[in-house]
Structure 1
Amino acid sequence: MNAMTRRIVVGTAAVSIALTMAACGKSGGGDSGSSSKDKTIGLLLPENATTRYEKFDKPLIEAKIKELCSDCSVDYANAAGDPAKQAQQVSSMIAKGVKVLILDAQDSVGIKTSVQAAVDKGIKVVAYDRLAQGPVSAYVSYDNEKVGELQGQALLDALGSKATPSSKIVMINGDDADPNAAQFKAGAHKILDGKVNIAYEQSGLWKDTVANQKVTAAITQLGAKNIAGVYSANDGMAGGIATALKGANINVPLTGQDAELAGLQRILTGAQTSTVYKAYKPEADATAEIAVDLLNGKDFKSVTETTAKSGSGQDVPAHLIGAVSVTKANIKDTVIKDGLYTTAQLCTAEFASACKAAGIQ
């Protein structure tokens, strides 16, 4: 083979390899050659102290996105309660070239500049669970003020005749950086004010350790025998509060939220009175649907039936989901019926007798 022939053979092989690689790079589904890299959706969740985010939200959102868009990929990160870390994660998502960003803000105010930076790069931002400030395209969450109302009413119901204007209540709210916390608080006050005396009110920062410290301080300040009940904005904090109450030999109504497994088990044993069950799948599914529509340039307005005003003044298309108060009486007909947990998960050996007494097994 002479030199000219060798050059022709090599050149032909190179063209063949290039064409093969180009064909392999095309995604399935006849999507005009868009690669999976062009269909990346970022998912940023705020913290992992609350069990719901890693156990439910992340896998549910990922599964629904995959169902709706087989060649889409999800790039995930958790801020672990650190707003500065989440801001860095947004920057990383921008650098990676995600097309849509699902954002559950650790600090809804502080994240505003990061949201703007993402939008400036052509990224559509969906506010998930918490309404971040800045130019977000859509918002999916629950009717959070209604959640607070459910919590307040559950506390009054548990107090019964002990709910009087002089009854001293300890109130442990969520993190002020979370706009939902203010809505839970507003809803609870709407129900409780004038009917009981909010004698001590502090933020527990969504942390069981902080909530424990705050309630311990409240016991010292008010006196153990003078506390009629405790409002806890979620189950995670209720765990720390229940420990503080038990240590002081106090047995009073205690609220919660999120229907965490540990919270439900405390309800079975009487260490906690109520929680609020917010079905995670409808929230995750609606968010995934909006994100995929935004990715494909489609109208998502059929999913958003209302609007919500963010702290920075934007009117954001929103989908808000209802919630239900859960006590020992309806655990079986709510979280067990919906498959949030199995009877086996809830009724381990330690809680078997309590489950039987509650008619769960």
Structure 2
Amino acid sequence: MKTLSTRLIGAGALSFGLSCALPALAAPSGTVAFLMPDQASTRYEQHDFPGFKAEMAKLCPDCKVLYQNANAAVATQQQQFNSVIAQGAKVIVLDPVDSTAAASLVHMAQSQGIKVIAYDRPVPSTPADYYVSFDNEGIGKAIATSLVEHLKATGVATSKGGVLEVNGSPTDAAAGLIKKGIHSGLESGGYKTLAEYDTPEWAPPKAQQWVSGQITRFSSQIVGVVAANDGTAGGTVAAFKAAGVNPVPPVTGNDATTAGLQLIISGDQYNTILKPSEIVAAAAAKAAVGFLSGQPPKGETRLFNTPTQLFKPAVITAQNLKAEVVDKGFANAKELCTDRYADGCKKLGITH
């Protein structure tokens, strides 16, 4: 097994090249399913599926694409999995609601000769046919390290207090990898972890409720918060705002959602991770077409005994948001700089 590097590339050198792109393929036909886990994050409807659908249309115009979202329900995802098999799916791209429960789905599909591509979230307990994702452990380490460096740069003494850690869903193996990376990133910083929480279903209201309790418990001891994605970051910021804390301590994020980027613009969130989901979705489509063509993708490493392709995204803060996100077309200034965010955009030189 190749050793995976968890060091993310610098924001100025963002690279999404498909280094292990498949050879030119004859466009086959067949049915491919794209099964996503929840709607708490807007990325699946707005980025992942459109990116997958567009790449499939390009690579396999005669293929039929089935799309379902389980809305965070394990039973619903199992029903959807059974449904796409009944509809003749030959390849299933699966982002599992529950990474452990997904093992039985993988076994069931493979017993019928159906290929399963684990997407974004791995299935640790049984090998899928392929796994494509961003480097989740690297993401966790990057956002935590970025926060620690910021606290040190702004003169926050390690003796002043500590950080809260708002992790993702306990049933999501990718959240577990992010959590592992966060622990690694915080280890060398010297700031103690006051408390941490695994957020059920990644639900922002549940993150907000937990953080509200910690504000009551720790008050001014909280010098920063490592939140595992922009949704939990938004819940965290809302908790501090509701408690009348101003300014909000630096809060991390992940996914570069419009809401997350706007919180950075307003100064309420410190960082996020830019990971255009369309990139991974396109890689999943290439892999699916490879399986249909009898040319299975090799992967560039192995994780969970599964051929794996990982992408390394970049940390975004107010300092590089314009250059790396807006100027490169990953987000629209008109969409970001609405109403209460207009002044923040002006300060960052973002115009439309």
Structure 2 counterpart of 1:208: 204
8 Å contact kept, 1:238–1:272: yes
Percent sequence identity over aligned pairs: 39
Establish whether residue 218 from structure 1 lines up as the match of residue 208 from structure 2.
no
The change in CA–CA distance for 1:324 and 1:163 in structure 2 (over 3 A counts) is farther
Pick from 268, 274, 278 the counterpart of residue 271 of structure 1.
Answer: 268
1:166 Cα offset (Å): 5.4
Greater shift, 188-197 or 45-54, is seen at 188-197
Q: Distance in 1 between matches of 2:38 and 2:157?
A: 35
Q: Output the amino acid matched with 2:231.
A: G
Greater shift, 178-187 or 50-59, is seen at 178-187
Q: Whose helix fraction is larger, Structure 1's or Structure 2's?
A: 1
Q: Output the amino acid matched with 2:204.
A: D
Q: Output the amino acid matched with 1:320.
A: L
Matches for 1:174-185 after TM superposition, within 5 Å: 174-185=168-179
Structure 2 counterpart of 1:281: 278
1:287 Cα offset (Å): 0.7
Establish whether residue 154 from structure 1 lines up as the match of residue 146 from structure 2.
yes
Q: Distance in 2 between matches of 1:254 and 1:163?
A: 17
1:134 Cα offset (Å): 2.8
Structure 1 counterpart of 2:51: 60
1:229 Cα offset (Å): 1.0
Structure 1 counterpart of 2:326: 336
Pick from 331, 339, 342 the counterpart of residue 349 of structure 1.
Answer: 339
Structure 2 counterpart of 1:82: 73
1:163 Cα offset (Å): 4.7
**Does the residue aligned with 1:86 lie in a helix, a strand or coil?**
helix
Structure 2 counterpart of 1:296: 293
The change in CA–CA distance for 1:88 and 1:78 in structure 2 (over 3 A counts) is same
1:58-105 deviation line (CA, Å, top 9, x unaligned): 010011011001101101100101111111111111111111100011
Q: Output the amino acid matched with 2:146.
A: A
8 Å contact kept, 2:92–2:117: yes
Structure 1 counterpart of 2:309: 319
Structure 2 counterpart of 1:308: 303
Q: Output the amino acid matched with 1:58.
A: F
Q: Output the amino acid matched with 2:208.
A: N
1:272-314 deviation line (CA, Å, top 9, x unaligned): 111111122221111100001101211322xx211111xxxxx
8 Å contact kept, 1:83–1:107: yes
The change in CA–CA distance for 1:77 and 1:157 in structure 2 (over 3 A counts) is same
1:350 Cα offset (Å): 2.5
| TM-score normalised by the chain length of structure 2 | 0.87
Establish whether residue 358 from structure 1 lines up as the match of residue 348 from structure 2.
yes
Q: Output the amino acid matched with 2:163.
A: I
Q: Output the amino acid matched with 1:174.
A: G
1:349 Cα offset (Å): 2.9
8 Å contact kept, 2:167–2:179: yes
Q: Distance in 2 between matches of 1:96 and 1:277?
A: 35
Structure 1 counterpart of 2:122: 131
Q: Output the amino acid matched with 2:213.
A: A
1:165 Cα offset (Å): 5.4
1:153-197 deviation line (CA, Å, top 9, x unaligned): 121123222151552211110011111111111111112125111
8 Å contact kept, 1:170–1:231: yes
* Greater gyration radius: 1
Q: Distance in 2 between matches of 1:218 and 1:305?
A: 42
CA RMSD in angstroms comes to: 1.7
Establish whether residue 41 from structure 1 lines up as the match of residue 32 from structure 2.
yes
8 Å contact kept, 1:79–1:106: yes
**Does the residue aligned with 1:162 lie in a helix, a strand or coil?**
coil
8 Å contact kept, 2:116–2:130: yes
Q: Distance in 1 between matches of 2:102 and 2:300?
A: 25
Matches for 1:83-98 after TM superposition, within 5 Å: 83-98=74-89
Q: Output the amino acid matched with 1:209.
A: P
8 Å contact kept, 2:50–2:278: no
Q: Output the amino acid matched with 1:211.
A: A
**Does the residue aligned with 1:198 lie in a helix, a strand or coil?**
strand
Establish whether residue 253 from structure 1 lines up as the match of residue 250 from structure 2.
yes
Q: Output the amino acid matched with 1:256.
A: G
Higher relative contact order (CA 8 A, sep 6+): 2
The change in CA–CA distance for 1:177 and 1:141 in structure 2 (over 3 A counts) is same
**Does the residue aligned with 1:214 lie in a helix, a strand or coil?**
helix
Q: Distance in 2 between matches of 1:215 and 1:135?
A: 36
Off by >6 Å, runs of 4+ in structure 1? none
**Does the residue aligned with 2:89 lie in a helix, a strand or coil?**
coil
The change in CA–CA distance for 1:163 and 1:87 in structure 2 (over 3 A counts) is farther
The answer for unaligned runs of 5 or more in structure 2 is 1-25
Greater shift, 54-63 or 274-283, is seen at 274-283
Q: Output the amino acid matched with 1:319.
A: Q
8 Å contact kept, 1:276–1:326: yes
8 Å contact kept, 1:60–1:284: yes
Q: Output the amino acid matched with 1:67.
A: K
Structure 2 counterpart of 1:15: none
